Every structure is written in structure tokens, then in C-alpha cells.
Amino acid sequence: MMAIILLVLKYFTFFSIFINDMKKKLIYDRDILFLVLIGLFSAVKFNDLGNYYLGASGYLMPLLALYILEDYFKKSLIGFGDVKLMMGIGGLFRYSGVENIFKFYTMLYIFSGIVVLFLLFFKKLQKCEYIPFAPFIIASYIFFNHFKIFFG
């Protein structure tokens, strides 16, 4: 029963993040906190706190590096909300190897690149317009989590 409640809370939180990032261009800290707590409860339930911490840290690192590079290039690419969201997502995934982190990011960037190219091609998006990244992160998490069989 607890697993069902956590699953419903997780998807409700994903929905809230998705809508807020699309409409307000903002990811609330309360939503990130819910994801972190859901992952933490799940890790405690399965006695897997070490992999929870490594997952949160490992999945966070590539986006954190990108966020730090923004300062160097003086160009805004992603917001810190996306970085914090990836920490929560990494905690939900838990650590299962660097190759899974690489596969997830590869899928995330290919998926978001294809969608953005279609939006640019069909003139639904301007070239320098803000593109919320959280919906791509969430969709990639859902796809990657539910279709792990395809990713090894």
C-alpha cells in the first residue's frame, strides 16, 4: 500500500513540476523536496541508502557541470531548478552503474533535441526562445524507468 502511495505522490509531483515549468518557468523547491523524500523513503524501505546517495550525486554531476559552464561562457542554458530536479531523479533511480547514467543522458539529449528541432521546423518556437527542460527530464525518466529492458 505504501508503494502505491509513493507512486501516486511521485507522479503528482512530476505533473506539478511539468506544469509549473511550462507555464511559470519555475520549479518549486517543495516539489524537489517531495521527490527527494520519495526516493529516500524508497531507499530506506529497500535498505539501499548508499545507492540512493550515489544515484542522486551521479545523475546530478553532468547537469551541474553544465550549470557551472554557463558562468564561464556567460550564456544561460539551464536553470538551477533543473539541476535540483536531476538530483531528485537520480535518487529515484538509485545508482546502478555509470553506463546507466550515460544511457539516460544520451536518451534525454536525443529526445529533447528531436522535439526542439520539430518545434523549430514547424515554427512553433523561435530560435532564441526559452525552452523548459524539466518536461524533457521527466519524460525521459518515465520512459527510461518503464522501458529498462531496452536499455540493458
Distance CA(14)–CA(135), nearest Å, equals: 9
CA distances from 124 to 97, 110, 115, 117, 129 (A): 38, 19, 11, 10, 10
Domain range for 57: 2-150
User: What are the pLDDT digits (tens) for 57-70?
Assistant: 999 999 989 988 98
How many domains are contained in the chain?
A: 1
Distance CA(12)–CA(48), nearest Å, equals: 24
User: What are the pLDDT digits (tens) for 14-67?
Assistant: 999 999 999 999 999 999 999 999 999 999 999 999 999 999 999 999 998 998
